[in-house]
Amino acid sequence: MRINLSGKKALVGASTSGIGKAIAIQLAASGATVTLMSRSLDKLEVVKSVLSTHESQQHQILQVDFTDFEAYQVLISEYFENNSVDILVNNTQGPAAGTALDKDVVDYQHAFDLLFKTVALTSELALKSMQKNKWGRIINVASVTVKEPLSYLVLSNSIRAAVVTWAKSLATEVGKDGITVNSILTGYFNTERIKALNAQKAKEQNISEEEVLKRLEATVPVKRIGDPAEYGYLVAFLASELAGYINGTQIPIDGGALSSL
């Protein structure tokens, strides 16, 4: 089985590091033309320089700040005035950690703008050409915490759950147009985000970051955290013709860490 995305155009959010970068690299390696989207122009240029490039691939960059929804709305609308995509990977940085008692209604609004409104708007804009072409893939980077919430990630738990249920609803509407909508429930991966969370835990528990990681790995049946490249493989498959009958799903990629079905 060979995944061939030649001739397809992809837009990947938060693609200068971690999971987003790994997704962009694998989509490009599979033949897609990729638009990288993130805040740091320097980092965007660096990642673009390492993407696989063949004659038909013309990779692009789009500098945006997901935390400023009003500005994001302008930039992403301008992008879609002149571009279309076949594959949309909705991914942003995560909101600040904290418990339900730590956060107030303003925090939830900021998280909603970051995690939900950016996803809904970008998908709405991307769908216009997808529906016209009768083909498309929308893939949402979500989290296993929508099934088993972590108390210290209340903003992510809450808003990503909304994204997943929205995605299921959308999938039932656009499936007839040859468009699939799926969400990936992300477990523990070797990213800057998890390193930052582990550093915070280490400080709170007065233990080393190495001990935090060791305890984390012990909770995963495969006894390790994930390599972001593994995430890229899953997204490339979901983006391909081979996954045309997979729609409206929530797929965990967590080494078996989820206890629930």
What pLDDT does 53 receive? 86
Residues 23-69 pLDDT 10s: 999 999 999 999 999 999 999 999 999 998 888 899 999 999 999 99
Question: Buried b / exposed e across 203-236, counting CB within 10 Å, b at 16+?
Answer: eeeeeeeeebbeebeeebeeeebbebeebbbbbb
Residues 128-161 pLDDT 10s: 999 999 999 999 999 999 999 999 999 999 999 9
The residue to which tokens 């495969």 are assigned: 222
- What percentage of the chain has pLDDT greater than the value 70? 100
Taking the domains of the chain in order of start, what are their residue ranges?
A: 9-187+227-252, 190-225
- CATH annotation of 9-187+227-252: 3.40.50.720
Q: Which structure tokens are listed for 246? A: 């997979």
Kindly report the average pLDDT of the chain as a whole number.
97
When pLDDT is cut at 50, 70 and 90, the band that residue 174 belongs to is very high
Residues 6+ apart with CB under 8 A from 81: none
pTM comes to 0.96
